[in-house]
């Protein structure tokens, strides 16, 4: 298992990290819960085969993930890994809550310290909230007391916000969503480069876009099949990421043995700067092939929002494009049910035209909404 070291620290970890948001589950009564024996066996197997980075969070699996991770890390396994978990910023209301949740998580994880403690799912609103609660003093205090080793944050917003958060504190790690398709989304590749130049290590989440990149539509499969070196879509997706010098660890939410063992195989040779110029061109072509399946042309700028009738135009278009991109109609159908329940679906449109007047892409939004509605049936 190849390793990398977080800049400015003495922490060296495996390039593959075990994400504990999608642990194996089983039915228990009328709900699904973590299959604890299965999950513990998988986590320990991963550690025994070189995985040294374990990532969890307060809300994962309804709060159960941290408890199961604690059990997996018993019997000497805690000392073998770097452990990361996340503060549920949305639940924090007072400065005292910062310490309260940290202490609760230390207890749940059955440990006296957390290696990387992340401010969870940061965005502009949560940054302002934490500033009012004096979060920097809290993190300084937690580091000084030994409860956490390194402060970090995970991120879901735009590139400008990422840079603001990145420069707001002496972070040691940033966890961002990145994959073949997201170079211009959220933190963006430019944000990852900025973190690298600042000496902040990057951990990648959603490397397979929630599993959607694990299967390739025909246009993408044809590109992969034509390449002289045969790799699965999963291996190409991971290779694209671990090639980047800024990336320390790539998280994978592994929920069965096949996924775990295949990932261990892939990351045996996870070397930085391993991709040739020709391979990078292939990745550009793969991205274009995915995007070429999209229908709407919507960039998500949200100039059409708010709609007077509360129609969630960009969200609907994104769902439709993703269903076409990955050849999975269930994406649009499932999300459209929620839009209908919230009375924000295309049927609410009265064709006032305000959205089309505001659209910088000059899209025929009214007609596209009708098509999306038909596609969801």
Over residues 52-101, the pLDDT tens digits come to 999 999 999 999 999 999 999 999 999 999 999 999 999 999 999 999 99
Residues 255 and 348 grouped into a single domain: no
Containing H/E element for 238? helix 233-242
Containing H/E element for 287? helix 277-291
Rounded to the nearest 10 degrees, the angle between the axes of helix 365-375 and helix 313-325 is 50
What letter does residue 347 receive in the DSSP assignment?
G
The model carries a pTM of: 0.89
pLDDT of residue 375: 96
**Cis geometry, peptide bond prior to residue 192 (ω within 30 degrees of 0):** no
pLDDT of residue 333: 96
pLDDT of residue 30: 86
Residues 71 and 189 grouped into a single domain: yes
Residues 339 and 241 grouped into a single domain: no
Residues 197 and 327 grouped into a single domain: no
Residues 273 and 317 grouped into a single domain: no
Residues 321 and 277 grouped into a single domain: no
Q: Give dist(CA 240, CA 104) in Å, integer.
A: 37
Residue 10's domain comprises 3-286
Give the residue ranges of the chain where pLDDT is below 50.
Answer: none
pLDDT of residue 303: 84
Residues 332 and 275 grouped into a single domain: no
Residues 271 and 359 grouped into a single domain: no
Residue of 58, 83, 63, 64 lying closest to 73 (CA atoms): 83
Residues 369 and 225 grouped into a single domain: no
pLDDT of residue 196: 97
pLDDT of residue 280: 97
Please write the tens of the pLDDT for every residue from 33-50: 999 999 999 999 999 999
Q: Give dist(CA 78, CA 71) in Å, integer.
A: 10
Please write the tens of the pLDDT for every residue from 328-370: 999 999 999 999 999 999 999 999 999 999 997 889 999 999 9
With beta carbons less than 8 A apart as the criterion, state whether 13 and 6 touch.
yes
pLDDT of residue 278: 98
Q: How many domains does the chain have?
A: 2
């Amino acid at each position: 298992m190849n390793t990398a070291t977080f800049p400015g620290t003495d922490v060296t970890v495996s390039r593959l990290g075990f994400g504990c948001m999608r642990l194996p589950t089983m039915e228990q009564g009328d709900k699904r819960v973590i299959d604890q024996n299965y999950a513990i066996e998988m986590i320990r197997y991963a550690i025994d085969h070189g995985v040294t980075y374990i990532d969890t969070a307060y809300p994962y699996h309804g709060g159960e993930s941290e408890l199961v991770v604690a059990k997996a890390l018993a019997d000497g396994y805690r000392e073998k890994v770097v452990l990361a978990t996340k503060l549920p910023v949305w639940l924090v209301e007072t400065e005292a809550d910062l310490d309260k949740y940290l202490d609760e998580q230390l207890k749940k994880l059955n440990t006296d310290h957390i290696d990387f403690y992340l401010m969870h799912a940061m965005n502009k609103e949560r940054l302002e909230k934490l500033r009012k609660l004096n979060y920097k003093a809290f993190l300084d205090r937690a580091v000084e007391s030994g409860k956490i080793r390194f402060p970090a944050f995970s991120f879901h917003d735009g590139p400008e916000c990422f840079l603001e958060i990145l420069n707001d504190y002496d972070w040691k790690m940033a966890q961002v969503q990145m994959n073949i398709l997201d170079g211009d989304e959220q933190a963006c590749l430019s944000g990852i480069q900025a973190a690298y130049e600042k000496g902040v290590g990057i951990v990648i989440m959603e490397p397979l876009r929630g599993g959607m990149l694990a299967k390739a539509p025909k246009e993408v499969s044809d590109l992969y099949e034509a390449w002289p070196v045969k790799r699965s879509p999963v291996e190409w997706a991971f290779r694209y990421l671990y090639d980047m010098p800024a990336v320390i660890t790539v998280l994978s939410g592994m929920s069965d043995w096949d996924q775990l063992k295949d990932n261990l195989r892939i990351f045996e040779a996870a070397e930085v700067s391993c991709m040739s110029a020709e391979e990078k061109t292939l990745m550009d072509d793969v991205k274009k092939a995915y995007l070429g399946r999209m229908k709407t042309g919507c960039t998500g700028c949200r100039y059409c929002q708010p709609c007077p009738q509360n129609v969630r135009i960009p969200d609907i278009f994104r769902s439709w494009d993703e269903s076409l991109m990955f050849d999975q109609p269930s994406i649009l159908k499932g999300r459209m049910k929620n839009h209908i329940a919230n009375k924000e679906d295309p049927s609410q449109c009265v064709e006032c035209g305000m959205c089309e007047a505001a659209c910088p892409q000059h899209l025929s939004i009214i007609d596209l909404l009708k098509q999306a509605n038909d596609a969801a049936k």
